[in-house]
Structure 1
Amino acid sequence: MTDTRHPLDPLTADEFGRVRAALVAAGLVGDTTRFPCVLPVEPAKDAVRAHRPGVAVRGTGPAGPGRAGAPAPVLRPARRRGGGRGEHGRGGRLRRPADRADNPRGNAFTTRGTVLERESVAARTADTARGRTWVVRSAESRNRLGKPRAYQLVPSPGPTLLAQEGSSVAGRAAFATRHLWVTRFAEDERFPAGDHPNQHPGGAGLPAWTARDRDLVDTDVVLWHVFGPTHLPRPEDWPVMPVDRSGFRLRPLGFCDRNPALDLPDLAACAHCPPGACECEH
């Protein structure tokens, strides 16, 4: 059977499933995601001699290895299930003004959060100067401290899309102009660049969906986190590039009443118990 698909055709649902399963099984999505690259063709000597810092070497092989690149994988967590209705917001660290009574040494800081109630205000960029994070919290479920149970997304601090406005890349990969998008859950909204990014003129996907400005409070939502390294080639990348890393954290925030690892038994004391069970109540 002859494969008639074009190399630039979007991945099928089955292919996306296999990729996702491989990444999850390898532990590559979550703490860190690695981007190795192999350069099979050495750049032309004239191009190397004429190279200026900050300018990509062009024409180094059939697929252009050696060019500066910015892969932009997108995390699309499954919609929140159970746990009641929710709210979504951003937060950051702020210096507190010096005050003789409340902050006499001027070294205190606090946090400030803002609820992102609609899609139009939920397209956000990271702010490393303030340690900006995003939180999805329950409006109904509370922990033992009376606070909403929540998950916190700690973003990757990389740059957004560096392509010029009006370019083909910027039109079709407009999702990469923000670090975070939040949309109301819809079964048919699966790909951040739209269903066929190599066939539409631009604007499909997240920009089109968020233009509807749907309400995000007390409903199922999807967080889209855009992250990835911006690769500027080095001599050390030839002929096999060392691993580059990019990552994020999705962690519970007040979701547990205490450190859940405290329930683990003492391995030394339970060495005589059957595997996976503790019968000595240590």
Structure 2
Amino acid sequence: MSRRAAITGLTALAPISWGSTYAVTTEFLPADRPLFTGLMRALPAGLALLALTRTLPRGVWWGKSVVLGALNIGAFFPLLFLAAYRLPGGLAAVVGSVGPLFVVGLAALLLGERPTVRALLAAVAAAFGVSLVVLKAGAAFDLVGVAAGLASAASMSAGTVLTKRWGRPKGVGPLAMVGWQLTAGGLLIAPVAFLVEGAPPALDGRGVAGYAYLALANTAVSYWLWLRGIERLPATSVTLLGPLSPITAAVIGWAVLGQALGPVQLAGMAIAFGATLAGQWTPRSSFSSAERTGEKVSMDLTTPVVRR
């Protein structure tokens, strides 16, 4: 196995892990607690990363961290979990899969970036393929859930573009920035969660295990793998690993939750997976050039952003 393939495989474990979020939310966690669930995923992981990196923002980065934390965590997580509670996992995932298209539009508007035709076609094909997965009997179409999913994608997309526009402070690693955003976002969610949902719910063993999984494996470890990948791979290739998340959600829905997968859904999964593979193709010269120049990256919570 080549070094490039090994790095790509490890990085792919992050979106695969994120694809399990929907099943864990609906099967292990207390019902109708999207704010508390977002809080429990963000704040423990953020505090753990702060303790690990021992790096705090300085100067204007206090304010920027709050803005990015609000967009990428404070709004994104509660809306994401609200969509997960109200929609089947596959439908919740496909609504979120339009995020890369939001990023393309916002980047063109705010950054003047023109995406490559190949990357744009791969993103569109992936979104189309994932959309086919939800075209099955019994898929509930809940307007509130769909609106929450779209709003979460828009919030994260805005955070992605601002992350790229602002870059990263000199001498600060991306892992520290993730810790800043998770902590800021978690602290923003906390008062709203207690005001809207009241005191934390009583948790049984399943609930404790679910929250522990989301905070540790699904967030802290997965984002570490994601960071490791974007430091070594072209940014576009890493971004287009994202469709593995909804594909995983659909597979778990079929294997664990008993959700049906017919020929149309299987075709959609094949299209989305094919788009993911196409997104990994990069001329060898481009990859080698990135290695030679020591390409630097910064990130929001799902999409890598290049800063040279």
TM-score of the two chains, using structure 2 as the length reference:
0.25
Which entry has the higher C-alpha Rg, 1 or 2? 1
More helix by share: 2
TM-score of the two chains, using structure 1 as the length reference:
0.26
Q: Give the structure, 1 or 2, with the largest relative contact order (CA under 8 Å, sep 6 or more).
A: 2
